């Protein structure tokens, strides 16, 4: 079977898995609101089948490209979403909490949808990626990040269950902001899809920070451009010019995400006449807050050492092989260290200071924010040795 056929099989498996996870939300929601076990069993069955199909995607694509499919943003974010689905199944096996799936699966779908906006084409690996440490390092980071992300979902559930979202406070405003950010990601997925289908790409050229002419192809209408950017016809373009040390094309995508996400958030508020927190709160009415707190803690206990291995130890070994140095203060390396130190502090406060409940929930949410910032903003906007990812 040729590469094209294998890639088609893998893509179809992933698409079917996405649809099954989308459908699974319905029976899981019904199971959370009712006492009928058949809904929970159906939701778990759909989730398990979807996870199996996701693994089919991963294995078949691996065979097709002849290396672990985690070498670009599409492949990494897709694997991240797959591992989040798998992490939920592991947590359910241990704690039997369907409500965790009700909140984890949508996050997994958002991650998969986000990954789908990036180029899916297969391209040869750059020299620094031609190593078995690509598989070891990146897959360990993705799996550990997925487990840590479960603590985000359970932290969110804990706050929705315990906070009085009808009252105005720093906590309720912060919780609503977290949900707004998730809507922004959904907005990014939507606007990326619309532009890719309905609009033509725009090519611009400019002098980069080294004084060399560089070209960029915008799939979204250029609002943010690098200083001195013009079209191939020499015409000025864009609304805001920024320094050439930042990738304006990718920042432009983020700006569009916030524009569309904000509009989408406003539409949701107008339709429901409630905050998103108030809409979601009834789905947590039967939750035991102490159990959610326990799951958040256990997820970090499992995910933290794995991240230390994949994000630091394995990464430094690979850096030595690829770039002849263990550490170079590259932006990606710095934020991996920040992530490690944050979760180390999380465990320190939990064990030494007795931080539990709401404090743990907020730490879990902040930790997820750091992970997302590292995997999205640092990769897309800040120039560095990991920009190819």
Predicted local confidence at residue 383, as pLDDT: 52
C-alpha distances in Å from residue 279, one per residue of 180, 229, 360? 13, 44, 23
What whole-number distance in Å separates Cα of residue 249 and Cα of residue 257? 13
The model carries a pTM of: 0.87
216 sits in which H/E element:
strand 213-218
Residue 235, token pair as written in the block: 């015409």
Q: Considering only 51-65, 161-175, 198-212, which range has the smallest mean pLDDT?
A: 198-212
Task: With H, G, I as helix, E, B as strand and everything else as coil, classify residue 249.
Answer: helix
Question: Which pairs count as long-range contacts for 67-71, CB under 8 Å and 24+ apart, including other chains?
Answer: 67/125, 67/134, 67/135, 68/134, 68/135, 68/138, 68/139, 70/134, 70/135, 70/138, 70/139, 70/142, 71/125, 71/129, 71/134, 71/138, 71/389
Q: Is the pLDDT of residue 340 over 90?
A: yes
Looking only at the bridges linking them, the beta strands covering 213-218 and 202-207 are antiparallel
Average pLDDT value for residue range 135-147: 90
Cross-strand bridge partners of residue 206 = 214
Q: Is the pLDDT of residue 118 over 60?
A: yes
Proportion of the chain above pLDDT 90, given as a percent:
47
Cross-strand bridge partners of residue 225 = 241
Average pLDDT value for residue range 241-262: 83
Average pLDDT value for residue range 344-372: 90
13/122: higher pLDDT: 13
Q: Quick one: pLDDT band at residue 109, thresholds 50, 70, 90? A: very high
Proportion of the chain above pLDDT 70, given as a percent:
95
Q: Give the domain ranges of the chain.
A: 124-164+282-388, 165-273
In angstroms, what is the C-alpha Rg of the chain? 21
Q: Is 114 exposed, middle or buried (0-12, 13-18, 19+ CB in 10 A)?
A: buried
Predicted local confidence at residue 380, as pLDDT: 67
Predicted local confidence at residue 334, as pLDDT: 86
Closest C-alpha to 231, from 257, 212, 203? 203
DSSP letter (8 states) at residue 245: T
Q: CB of 336 within 8 A of CB of 311? A: yes
What whole-number distance in Å separates Cα of residue 141 and Cα of residue 148? 10
352: which residues sit within 8 A by CB, 6+ positions away?
none
Per-residue pLDDT tens over the stretch 202-240: 888 887 766 677 787 788 888 888 787 888 777 778 788
Predicted local confidence at residue 128, as pLDDT: 62
Per-residue pLDDT tens over the stretch 87-106: 999 999 999 899 999 999 99
Helix boundaries (H) for the chain: 3-33, 37-65, 73-95, 98-116, 132-162, 170-198, 248-272, 276-280, 289-307, 314-323, 331-352, 358-372, 379-380
Per-residue pLDDT tens over the stretch 281-325: 999 988 999 999 999 999 999 999 999 998 888 888 877 877 777
Q: Is the pLDDT of residue 377 over 90?
A: no
Q: What is the mean pLDDT of the chain?
A: 86
């Amino acid at each position: 079977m040729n590469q094209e056929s294998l890639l088609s099989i893998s893509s179809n498996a992933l698409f079917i898995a996405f649809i099954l996870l989308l459908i699974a939300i319905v029976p899981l929601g019904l199971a959370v609101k009712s006492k009928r076990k058949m809904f929970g069993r159906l939701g778990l069955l759909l989730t398990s089948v979807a996870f199996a199909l996701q693994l089919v995607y991963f294995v078949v694509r691996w065979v097709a490209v002849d290396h672990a499919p985690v070498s670009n943003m599409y492949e990494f974010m897709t694997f991240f979403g797959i591992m989040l689905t798998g992490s939920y199944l592991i947590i359910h096996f241990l704690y039997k909490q369907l409500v965790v799936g009700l909140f984890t699966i949508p996050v997994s779908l958002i991650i998969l949808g986000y990954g789908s906006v990036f180029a899916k084409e297969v391209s040869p690996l750059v020299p620094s990626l031609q190593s078995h440490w690509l598989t070891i390092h990146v897959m360990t980071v993705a799996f550990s990040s997925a487990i840590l992300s479960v603590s985000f979902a359970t932290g969110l559930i804990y706050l929705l269950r315990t906070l009085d979202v009808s009252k105005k406070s720093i906590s309720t405003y912060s919780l609503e902001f977290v949900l707004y950010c998730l809507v922004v990601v959904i907005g990014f997925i939507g606007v990326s899809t619309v532009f890719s289908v309905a609009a033509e790409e725009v090519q611009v050229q400019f002098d980069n920070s080294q004084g060399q002419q560089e070209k960029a192809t915008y799939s979204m209408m250029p609002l943010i451009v690098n200083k001195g950017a013009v079209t191939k016809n020499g015409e000025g373009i864009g609304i805001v010019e920024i320094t050439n040390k930042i990738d304006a094309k990718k920042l432009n995508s983020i700006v569009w995400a916030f524009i569309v996400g904000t509009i989408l958030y406003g539409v949701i508020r107008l339709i429901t006449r409630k905050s998103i927190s108030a809409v979601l709160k009834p789905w947590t009415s039967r939750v035991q807050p102490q159990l959610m707190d326990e799951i958040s803690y256990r997820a970090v206990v499992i995910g933290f050492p794995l991240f230390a291995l994949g994000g630091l130890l394995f990464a430094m070994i690979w850096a030595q092989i690829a770039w002849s140095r263990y550490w170079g203060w590259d932006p990606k390396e710095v934020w991996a260290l920040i992530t490690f130190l944050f979760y180390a502090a999380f465990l320190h406060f939990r064990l030494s200071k007795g931080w539990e409940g709401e404090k743990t929930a907020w730490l879990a949410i902040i930790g997820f924010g750091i992970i997302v910032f590292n995997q999205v903003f640092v990769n897309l906007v800040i120039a560095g040795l990991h920009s190819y990812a």
